[in-house]
Amino acid sequence: MRVRILAAAGLVALIAGCGSDTPPAAGGDKGGSLTVLAAASLTESFTRIGRDFEAANPGTKVTFSFGGSSGLATQITSGAPADVFAAASPATMKTVTDAGDASGTPVTFAKNQLVIAVPKGNPRGLTDLAALSGPGIKVALCAEQVPCGAAAKKAGVQVTPVTLEQDVKAALAKVKLGEVDAAVVYRTDAKAASADVDGVEFPESAGAINDYPIVALTDAPNPAGAAAFVAFVRSGPAQQVLTDAGFQRP
d(CA 108, CA 137): 36
Evaluate whether the domain defined by 8-111+211-244 bears CATH number 3.20.20.70: no
What CATH number is given for 114-207 in this structure?
A: 3.40.190.120
Distance of CA 152 to the CA centre of its chain: 16
Residue 209, pLDDT score: 96
Residue 21, pLDDT score: 53
Q: What is the pLDDT along the chain (250 residues), one digit of tens a residue?
A: 333 333 333 333 333 344 445 454 444 333 599 999 999 999 999 999 999 999 999 999 999 999 999 999 999 999 999 999 999 999 999 999 999 999 999 999 999 999 999 999 999 999 999 999 999 999 999 999 999 999 999 999 999 999 999 999 999 999 999 999 999 999 999 999 999 999 999 999 999 999 999 999 999 999 999 999 999 999 999 999 999 999 999 9
DSSP 162-221: SEEESSHHHHHHHHHTTS-SEEEEEHHHHHHTTTTEEEE--GGGGG-PEEEEEEEETT-S
Residue 242, pLDDT score: 98
Residue 6, pLDDT score: 34
Residue 29, pLDDT score: 32
**Domains of the chain by residue range:** 8-111+211-244, 114-207
Query: Do 8-111+211-244 and 114-207 share a fold?
Result: yes
Residue 65, pLDDT score: 98
Burial of 82 (0-12, 13-18, 19+ CB in 10 A): buried
Give the number of C-alpha atoms closer than 13 A to the C-alpha of residue 50, restricted to the C-beta side. Answer: 20
CB proximity list for 172: less than 8 A, separation 6 or greater: 117, 183, 185, 189, 190, 193, 197
Residue 25, pLDDT score: 47
Helix (H) or strand (E) holding 117: strand 114-119
d(CA 221, CA 34): 8
Residue 13, pLDDT score: 36
